[in-house]
Amino acid sequence: MFDAINGLPLHPLVVHGVVVLLPLAVLGTIAIAVRPGWRRTYGPLVVGIAAVATLLIPVATSSGDALEDRVGSPGDHEDLGEQLIWFALPLLILLVALVVLSRRAERETTAIGEGAAPSAAGRRLVTVVAVLSVVAALAAGVQVYRVGDSGAQSVWGSTTG
């Protein structure tokens, strides 16, 4: 199903979507975790980017399987690529939680009155989720690098080395 478009292998085309969008989601996650004021404005955008990147991962792995049938095994690249979804999903889940919890804390503040602060437990929860989001983002960033590097090595390693 995910083999080719107009005779071109689909895998390199889809992979570039993942390779661009997932690192953007990583950087966006770190930015909104560190700068709480940006969560309201940029949070939904970062969530959208992370969601599209996460949705493209199964397409990339399926098209990679189809490409493997044509050109042979890519070695470690296949295993690393199949693991990427398990890095992207926690990132997406934590990112959604961060944006939702931040909005909830913001609504609490507005409901209580201007100048009031959300509960200490609410602030701690948002902080914990922000820290976990950064950890998940860094892990996803490292994994997308590993997948991309192993893919480049499987394609270009013998010709450039």
> How many domains, the chain?
1
pLDDT of residue 145: 94
pLDDT of 154 strictly over 90: no
Residue 37 CA to chain centroid, in angstroms? 21
pLDDT at 69: 67
Tell which residue, 145, 142, 154, 137, has the closest CA to residue 46: 137
Residues 125 and 104 sit within 8 Å (Cβ to Cβ): no
* Whether residue 8 has pLDDT greater than 70: yes
Q: Is the pLDDT of residue 98 over 90?
A: yes
Report if residue 161 sits inside a domain: no
Give the C-alpha separation, 33 to 27, whole Å.
Answer: 10
Name the pLDDT band for 107 (thresholds 50, 70, 90).
confident
* Residue 160 resides in a domain: no
- Has residue 9 been placed in a domain? yes
118, two tokens: 């959300």
Stretch 60-74: mean pLDDT: 73
pLDDT for position 159: 53
Q: Does the pLDDT value for residue 2 go beyond 70?
A: no
Q: What is the pLDDT of residues 21-40, one digit of tens each?
A: 999 999 999 999 999 999 99
Q: What is the pLDDT, as a whole number, of residue 160?
A: 47
- Provide the pLDDT for residue 1: 58
More confident residue, 67 or 53: 53
Q: What is the pLDDT of residue 66?
A: 76
SS3 track for 30-71: HHHHHCHHHHHHHHHHHHHHHHHHHHHHHHHHHHHHHHHHHH
Expressed as residue numbers, the domain containing 30 is: 4-154
159 in a structural domain: no
Residue 16 lies in a domain: yes
pLDDT band at 76 (very low <50, low <70, confident <90, very high): confident
